[in-house]
Amino acid sequence: MGAGHGHVLYRESDSPVHRLPPEVKIVAMVVFTIAVVATPRTAFWAFGAYAVLVAVVAALARVGPRWLLSRALIELPFVVFAVALPFLGSGDRVEVLGLRLSEDGLHGAWNILAKGTLGVLASLLLAATTTTRDLIVGLDRLHCPQVFTQIATFMLRYLDVLVGEARRMRVARISRGDDPRFLWQLRGFAAGIGALFLRAFERGERVYLAMLSRGYTGRMPAAWQSEGAATTGQWLVAATVPVVAASIAATAVVLS
């Protein structure tokens, strides 16, 4: 396959998690996240249990904790809001380290931090064990509309085209005596952004026409050849994670 090099997050390996069909992993990940979000925020033990579950899957997928945690920093800007909540929230105030903080706000901050982190870890595990091409095949097998998977396929394909064109234009600028450094290249970039778009489109159009002439009809062969589609056994194996997560959530709801 002429797969691109856009698999920044994919970790080549042959673990049991890697071998699972993509559609199974997508469903498991979505159900797991919904179970986490549905858990009452004061059920602290439940979040510990979810973390253990994530750690077990990561170990099975041979994804190291260091890789996982450093990539999880992506959520940092999203939790800035969480830090502000204890100061903004209303209701009862509690004294923490000499600061009068809103109790509701503290709980809210914990809620965002715990649920956000678990969600990010779950999607990182999916990304580490599934190539982007397989992800689209999985969505297709889950009966995602074809218009949708088609746009997604082209998006992932054209990302490489776009990055490649941007690099070529930058080399062209430098070879004509431009000296791009940090912020100063922004001006050159802004001036060239329309040209970049057109160049990428014309390349992308050629890619598309080449695909059409080779028999492309809107779906990738891997999707309509049912080869490699999930078996009942694989569904059952992958169901363990969401089922455990759902029972933890149910217990937490009942107990609270």
Partner 1 sequence: METLAMHISNGIIDGPVAAIFAALALAALTVCVLRGRRDLDDRLAPMAGLVAAFIFAVQMLNFPIFTAGVSGHLLGGALAAILVGPWVGALCVAVVLVVQALIFGDGGVAMLGLNITNMALLGTAAAYVLIAVLLRVLPRTRAGLAVTAFVAATLSVVVASQGFVLEYWLGGTTDLGNNLTGLAGTMAGVHLLIGIGEGLITATTVLTVAKVRPDLVYALRSLRTPAAPAVPVAGGAR
Q: Counting beta carbons within 10 angstroms of the beta carbon of residue 54, is it exposed (0 to 12), middle (13 to 18) or buried (19 or more)?
A: buried
Q: Near partner 1 by CB under 8 A, which window of 146-154, 169-177, 222-230, 235-243? A: 146-154
The CB-of-150 to partner 1 minimum distance in angstroms stands at: 7
Q: Who contacts 33 (Cβ-Cβ below 8 Å, separation ≥6)?
A: 118, 119, 122, 123
Q: How far is the CB of 234 from partner 1 (least distance, A)?
A: 19
Q: How does DSSP classify residue 102?
A: E
When the beta carbons of 233 and 242 are compared against partner 1, the nearer one is 242
**Footprint of partner 1 on 124-143 (CB under 8 A):** 124, 126-127, 130, 132, 135
Residues 42-71 that bind partner 1 (CB under 8 A): none
18 in contact with partner 1 (CB under 8 A):
no
Residue reference for tokens 């903080």: 101
Question: Per-residue DSSP letters for 138-195?
Answer: HHHHTT--HHHHHHHHHHHHHHHHHHHHHHHHHHHHHHTT----GGGHHHHHHHHHHH
CB of 62 to partner 1, least distance (A): 18
Region of 157-165, 173-181, 219-227, 231-239 interacting with partner 1 (CB under 8 A): 157-165
Cβ burial of 254 (10 Å; 0-12, 13-18, 19+) is exposed
Are 101 and 94 in contact by the 8 Å Cβ rule? The answer is yes
Q: Is 150 in the site for partner 1 (CB under 8 A)?
A: yes
Q: Is 249 exposed, middle or buried (0-12, 13-18, 19+ CB in 10 A)?
A: buried
148 forms part of the interface with partner 1 (CB under 8 A): yes
238 binds partner 1 (CB under 8 A): no
Among 58, 89, 133, 222, binds partner 1 (CB under 8 A): 89
- Which of residues 75, 170, 173, 188 is near partner 1 by CB under 8 A? 75
Buried b (16+ CB within 10 A) or exposed e, 155-166: ebbbeebbebbb
- The least distance separating partner 1 from the CB of residue 90, rounded to whole angstroms, comes to 3
Q: How far is the CB of 112 from partner 1 (least distance, A)?
A: 5
User: x/- string (CB under 8 A) for partner 1, residues 177-216?
Assistant: -------------xx-xxx-xx-xx--xx-xx---x----
Q: Judged by CB under 8 A, does residue 38 bind partner 1? A: yes
